Amino acid sequence: MPDGSPPLKPRTLRDAAALVEAGLVPPESAPGLERLAGTYAIALTPAVQALIDRADPADPIARQYVPDIAELTTLPEERSDPTSDAPFTPVKGVVHRYPDRALLKPLLACPVYCRFCFRREVVGPDGGLLSEAELEAALDWFAATPTVREAILTGGDPLMLSPRRLGHILARLSAIPHLDIIRLHSRVPVSAPERVTPALAEALGSTEKALFLCVHANHAREFAPPARAALRVLRRAGVALLGQSVLLRGVNDSPEALAALFRAMLAAQVKPYYLHQLDRAPGTARFEVPVAEGRAILRALRGRLTGLAWPAYVLDLPGGAGKAPLGPDFATADGADWLVEGPLDHQPHRHPGRAGAPAAGQAAAPPPGRGGGGRP
């Protein structure tokens, strides 16, 4: 620095004053954002700050992380628990909505706080870290529930745990015979890649179970060189990588933006897995893309992208009813035939039914001499 003092170490921005100082919000917005910070956590890591184009007022990276006073406006259709975690919590830290899998939330802290987060009412820097007794009770629940074949670590961000604590959790889960799969969901590789240390990778690679890490990213620029380097460390440890995104207004709501995102994922050997319709958490309306528009965007992508780049477009239904596919339909029944839209020419093509086949929507009759499901 000009005065000879050492340069300031990059730091995570956590309040309005820091955002103003960094040039990310105007000074006049500070009072409102201070009020907002009392309700919803703020955190922009140095890695995220480095991705933001301050010359672009509509920068898609800033839009995901920089708070806006509009977040304090809650619409009637918005819910504090839009995916209904609470009614499906048998013990603290566990959410069991689906018969064969359950969530484990060992903490509620994240390296960054997305402005559209569906758990924004509960996540924050205080952490919500399960106590040793609470964690052991949650792990005991998994051991005592044989219908559950997949444990999904989420939160918060499980990669905010120390390698030692994460390794302990994975060891306990790995010792449960009926568990086949362990999945983790994290923003760390793209938002705090320096946390992906050899010790963390070793902890993740220590299990004999099938382990998948689902990387949350919403824009191609998030796969910057530090993120790609972190992902290489994970791959070398044997961690299989999936990608999860949210369809967001002003971030990725065009065929071009989604194509770039999914291609960036594949280039980093991250398989696009889910594209979520926005969960209607309080104060998130500015991010919502209507379902019809989302379907049209995906329809435009079909045929332009390799099938490896194609995620499932889903809506997590309120009330705990599960994830429903929203992807565009390309086939329409026409008697025993199907009219199928070509993904390259977008023209209808007739797929004839076979002779004797039932019309679409009708059940096939059982073969002669057989009942509906019996033996001959």
Active site residue 81: no
Q: Which burial class, exposed, middle or buried, applies to 61 when counting CB atoms under 10 A from its CB (0-12, 13-18, 19+)?
A: buried
Contact 156, 106 (CB under 8 A): yes
Active site residue 214: no
Active site residue 280: no
Active site residue 279: yes
Residue among 65, 114, 195, 221 flagged as catalytic: 114
Active site residue 98: yes
Active site residue 14: no
Residue among 105, 110, 280, 313 flagged as catalytic: 110
> 132-143 and 163-174 are packed helices; what angle lies between their axes, rounded to 10 degrees?
30
Residue among 59, 85, 113, 117 flagged as catalytic: 117
The annotation status of 214 as a binding-site residue, yes or no, is no
Contact 183, 211 (CB under 8 A): yes
Residue among 14, 81, 98, 209 flagged as catalytic: 98
Q: Please give the distance of CA 375 from its chain centroid, rounded to a whole number.
A: 46
The annotation status of 110 as a binding-site residue, yes or no, is yes
Active site residue 101: yes
Cis peptide bond prior to 156, omega within 30° of 0: yes
Tell how many helices (H) and how many strands (E) occur in the chain. Answer: 11, 12
Give the amino acid at 206.
Answer: S
| Rounded Cα distance, 179 and 298, in Å | 34
Q: Please give the distance of CA 34 from its chain centroid, rounded to a whole number.
A: 28
Residue among 63, 115, 119, 183 flagged as catalytic: 119
Residue among 63, 97, 187, 280 flagged as catalytic: 97
Active site residue 119: yes
The order of strands in the sheet holding 101-104 is 94-98, 101-104, 150-153, 181-186, 210-216, 240-246, 271-276, 312-317, 322-325
Contact 286, 124 (CB under 8 A): no
Nearest to 304 by CA among 347, 368, 259, 262: 259
Cite the active site residues. Answer: 97-98, 101, 110, 114, 117, 119, 279, 316, 323
Residues annotated as binding site? 110, 114, 117
Residues annotated as binding site for [4Fe-4S] cluster? 110, 114, 117
